[in-house]
Amino acid sequence: EDQVTQSPEALRLQEGESSSLNCSYTVSGLRGLFWYRQDPGKGPEFLFTLYSAGEEKEKERLKATLTKKESFLHITAPKPEDSATYLCAVLGDTGFQKLVFGTGTRLLVSP
C-alpha cells in the first residue's frame, strides 16, 4: 500500500529563517511526487511535480528535491505570505491517477 508521511506536522519560522519540510514515501512504482500548497478554506494549489531521484525544481523561494525514499521542500528566506499548509502526494502504478496524500505540514512565518 502506498504511504506518505510528512514532517514536521507544524513549523514556525521567523521571516528570513530558512528551513526544510520532509515527505517520506513508500510507493509501488513511483510515477510522480507532487507538492501542493493549501491556504485555509481553499483547495490545494499545485507547486511541483518530481519524477525521478535526483530531480530538483525551483519556484521563487521554494525548492523541491527527490530521492528514492523522500522529498524535501526547502524554503529559503521565507516571508509571511509563505504561511500555508504544504501537502505532498505520490502517484504510483497501482490505481489509475490515484494520488496518495500526506497529512501536510502547517507552516507559519512570523514577521
Partner 1 sequence: EAQVTQNPRYLITVTGKKLTVTCSQNMNHEYMSWYRQDPGLGLRQIYYSMNVEVTDKGDVPEGYKVSRKEKRNFPLILESPSPNQTSLYFCASSLPTGGYVTQYFGPGTRLTVL
Task: Report the C-alpha gap between 108 and 25 in whole angstroms.
Answer: 24
Map residues 57-86 to x or -, x wherever contact with partner 1 holds by CB under 8 A.
Answer: ------------------------------
Longest dimension (CA), the chain: 44
Residue 82's φ and ψ, nearest 5 degrees, are -80, -5
Nearest approach in angstroms of CB 41 to partner 1 is 7
- Kindly tell me which of 66 and 78 has the beta carbon lying closer to partner 1: 66
34 binds partner 1 (CB under 8 A): yes
Task: Report the C-alpha gap between 55 and 70 in whole angstroms.
Answer: 12
| Amino acid residing at 45 | E
Enumerate binding residues for partner 1 (CB under 8 A). 4, 31-32, 34, 36, 41-46, 49, 51, 87, 89, 91, 96-99, 101-104
